[in-house]
Amino acid sequence: MNSKRENAAPKAAAGFSAVVRGRVQGVGYRYFVLECARALGLSGYVRNLPGGAVNVVAAGPRESLERLLESLHRGPFLARVDDIAVAWAPPSAPQGEFHIRS
Is 30 among the catalytic positions? yes
Q: For the chain, what is the mean pLDDT? A: 89
**pTM above 0.75?**
yes
Q: Which of 30, 55, 62, 101 is catalytic?
A: 30
Domains recognised in the chain with CATH numbers: 11-100 (3.30.70.100)
Single-letter amino acid, residue 17: S
Q: Which of 23, 47, 48, 67 is catalytic?
A: 48
Beta carbons within 8 Å of 94's beta carbon, 6+ residues apart: 43, 44, 45
How far is residue 43's CA from residue 52's CA, in Å, rounded to a whole number?
23
Predicted confidence (pLDDT) per residue in 11-21, tens digit: 548 999 999 99
Q: What angle do CA 54, 50, 24 make, to 5 degrees?
A: 35
Residue 74 CA from chain centroid, whole number: 13
pLDDT over 80 at 70, yes or no: yes
